[in-house]
């Protein structure tokens, strides 16, 4: 089975990089377990495994910012997955930015260079 070609780490996870299919920009990195990768392939919607919550999650389940997967790629070593995606709402990061990679090293400090597109408190509603 194709899932057996993935080299899962000792926790049963593989790094997954979400890349905008149109622009090529890296939007985020998360982890997938076997179930997340299988669901992603079957549904065409990105699913990940949250290490902090220790559970499967569908990207956008709280924010509405789901990821439509155009293509899945496995690297040469079999230990990293890249998802070519279309990002709903144009926001991949929980900080309300397009990308989680919004900080640039400048003069020995990490500086935020991308704007917040939407206030995170308006995206995530605590119940």
Structure tokens at 108: 């020995």
CATH class of 2-90: alpha beta
| Residue keyed to tokens 């996870």 | 13
* Rounded (5°) CA angle 3-5-9: 85
Mean pLDDT of 29-43: 98
For the chain, the structural domain boundaries read 2-90
Nearest-angstrom CA–CA distance, 50 and 60: 13
pLDDT at residue 123, rounded to an integer: 87
pLDDT at residue 125, rounded to an integer: 66
47-93 pLDDT tens trace: 999 999 999 999 999 899 999 999 999 999 999 999 999 999 999 99
Tell me what the pLDDT averaged over the chain comes to: 95
pLDDT at residue 46, rounded to an integer: 98
Is the pLDDT confidence value at 21 over 60?
Answer: yes
CB 77 within 8 A of CB 101: no
pLDDT at residue 126, rounded to an integer: 56
Is the pLDDT confidence value at 43 over 60?
Answer: yes
99-119 pLDDT tens trace: 999 999 999 999 999 999 999
Strands 81-87 and 14-20: what pairing?
parallel
């Amino acid at each position: 089975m194709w899932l057996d070609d993935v080299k899962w780490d000792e926790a049963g996870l593989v790094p997954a990089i979400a890349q905008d299919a149109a622009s090529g920009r890296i939007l985020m990195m998360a982890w997938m377990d076997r179930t997340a990768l299988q669901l992603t392939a079957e549904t065409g919607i990105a699913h990940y495994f949250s290490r902090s919550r220790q559970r499967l999650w569908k990207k956008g389940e709280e924010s509405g910012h789901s990821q439509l997967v155009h293509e899945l790629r496995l690297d040469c070593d079999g230990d990293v997955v890249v998802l070519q995606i279309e990002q709903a709402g144009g926001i991949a990061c929980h900080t309300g930015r397009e990308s989680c990679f919004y900080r640039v090293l400048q003069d020995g400090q990490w500086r935020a260079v991308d704007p917040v597109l939407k206030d995170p408190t308006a995206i995530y509603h605590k119940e």
